[in-house]
């Protein structure tokens, strides 16, 4: 699978768009921090704005914000995400962003030991285990599970249909030109 939704193609299209005077919004996941930095520089050099959005679902963005808040008090967490079987990247950009937000928000180290040698555990992103599943019948689903002595907390989000992304896309389109920085990653700053 490739085409317009592949990270390499998305970056090339964004480079062209920014260099030709357009503010640009990217919804393709799988781009690296180097891609972000390069596109931010091109945007700044051309007086444009670029917004890279791991997930346009408002419920997904709120889930990430809630997870970051919970991580302050419950540092032990794991992320489980499920997407359609054609999704190229695993873990998803949303799962990566969620794990990074959890790690950044923690005020204490997790109690559970890091077990990177257990292959069934998934990928570790900033000391947060992330499990990725790709199955037919799904659009997008993510759950963050926190554990602490004597209690647990689960925060989940499900997109049943791609129409769930439209509100976030509209929000990005209406606000991209007014963003304070040349590069913005995520819808967080717009909520």
Joined together, the tokens standing for residue 108 give 């204490």
Output the pTM of the full model: 0.84
What's the pLDDT at 1? Answer: 38
The mean pLDDT value of the chain amounts to 91
Between 166-175 and 58-71, two packed helices, what is the crossing angle to 10 degrees? Answer: 90
Q: Is 88 in contact with 3 (CB distance < 8 Å)? A: no
CA distance 44 to 68: 29
pLDDT tens for each residue of 28-46: 877 888 999 999 999 999 9
% residues pLDDT > 90 (the chain): 74
Mean pLDDT of 18-24: 96
Torsions phi, psi for 151 (to 5 deg): -160, 165
The DSSP result for the chain, as a single string, is --GGGSHHHHHHHHHHHHHTT--EEE------HHHHHHHHHHHHHTT--EEE-S---HHHHHHHHHHHHHHTT---EEEEEEE-TT--SSS-HHHHHHHHHHHHH-SS--SSPP-TT-GGG-EEETTEEEEEEE-TT-SEEEEEEEEETTEEEEEEEEESSGGGGHHHHHHHHHHGGG-SSSEEESSGGG-
Separation of first and last alpha carbons in the chain? 33
pLDDT tens for each residue of 80-118: 999 999 888 889 989 999 999 999 999 998 887 766 565
What's the pLDDT at 6? Answer: 78
All structural domains of the chain: 3-52+163-190 (no CATH), 58-160 (3.30.360.10)
Candidates 87, 104, 109, 114; catalytic one: 87
CA distance 157 to 164: 11
Q: Catalytic site residue 49?
A: no
Q: Look at 168 and 5; give whichever has higher pLDDT.
A: 168
Candidates 6, 12, 41, 83; catalytic one: 83
What's the pLDDT at 120? Answer: 57
Q: Is 65 in contact with 96 (CB distance < 8 Å)? A: no
Q: Catalytic site residue 83?
A: yes
């Amino acid at each position: 699978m490739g085409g317009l939704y592949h990270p390499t193609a998305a970056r090339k299209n964004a480079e062209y768009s920014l260099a030709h005077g357009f503010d640009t919004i990217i919804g393709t996941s799988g781009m690296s921090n180097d891609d972000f930095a390069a596109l931010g520089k091109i945007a700044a050099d051309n007086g444009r704005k670029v917004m890279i959005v791991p997930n346009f679902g408002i419920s997904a963005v709120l889930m990430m914000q809630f997870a970051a808040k919970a991580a302050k008090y419950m540092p032990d967490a794991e992320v489980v995400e499920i997407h359609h079987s054609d999704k190229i990247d695993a873990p998803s950009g949303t799962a990566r962003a969620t794990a990074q937000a959890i790690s950044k928000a923690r005020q204490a180290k997790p109690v559970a030991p890091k077990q990177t040698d257990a292959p069934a555990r998934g990928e570790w992103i900033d000391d947060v285990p992330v499990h990725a599943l790709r199955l037919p019948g799904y659009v997008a689903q993510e759950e963050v599970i926190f554990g602490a002595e004597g209690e647990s907390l689960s925060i989940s989000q499900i997109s049943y249909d791609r129409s769930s992304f439209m509100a976030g896309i509209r929000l990005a389109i209406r606000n991209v030109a007014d963003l304070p920085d040349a590069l913005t990653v995520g819808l967080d700053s717009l909520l």
